[in-house]
Amino acid sequence: MPQGAKDLVEALQPYNRGEHFGDDPLWTIHELNRIDKHRIDLTVSASAPRQTIDANFPQVSEAVLGTGGPMYNGKELSWWVIPEGAEEPEVELQFTRGVAFGEGVALAGAPVIQSLRDVRNFLRYDVAFPLDRFL
């Protein structure tokens, strides 16, 4: 292998990110491969990656709209405070449903589709294309 290719492969290693190695796409691939190799069930959960709210909030003093992420029984997805005596607003909530990686995996809580796209793009643009020049 040409020295430039060896240098690139070395530079891409997750351990070069120090304590943030777990955020590295190559570490993600390693972890997903390890889980698959050992036939450990890959847990997933429902998620609400995007929320849209169509409402008129003329007197709302405080609000959290669209916390996103994995959903679980009892999780607050959105809330707002309406002062006492104020008129109740008409609200229409729309949640985009998705699937997130479950607890105990490299991408716990991350959306599955977007995460896999990010890994694919990393492999394409940061690994394959740069290595291609050494062929």
Mean pLDDT calculated for residue range 43-57: 61
Is the confidence at residue 60, as pLDDT, over 90? no
**pTM of the complete model:** 0.61
pLDDT for 102 equals 75
Return phi, psi of residue 31, to 5°: -65, -45
- 101 vs 47, residue with greater confidence: 101
Instruction: Kindly give, in sequence order, each residue whose CB lies less than 8 Å from that of residue 90, ignoring residues fewer than 6 positions away.
Output: 55, 56
Q: What is the mean pLDDT of residues 1-30?
A: 92
Q: Residue 78: how many CB atoms within 10 A of its CB?
A: 16
Hey, where are the domains in the chain? 1-43+102-135, 47-100
Please report, for residues 4, 17, 52, 67, 118, the alpha-carbon distance to residue 70 in angstroms, rounded to integers and kept in the order given.
41, 26, 17, 9, 18
Cβ atoms of 77 and 95 within 8 Å: the answer is: yes
Tokens representing residue 117 in the block: 């796209």
Mean pLDDT for the chain overall? 78
At 90 the three-state DSSP class reads coil
Answer yes or no: is pLDDT of 11 > 80: yes
**Looking at per-residue confidence, does 6 or 105 come out higher?**
6
| Nearest 10 degrees: Cα torsion 62, 68, 72, 76 | 10
Q: Which two tokens stand for residue 63?
A: 């609000």
CB 57 within 8 A of CB 80: yes
- Stretch 15-23: mean pLDDT: 91
Quick one: average pLDDT of 46-59? Answer: 61
Question: Average pLDDT of 69-83?
Answer: 70
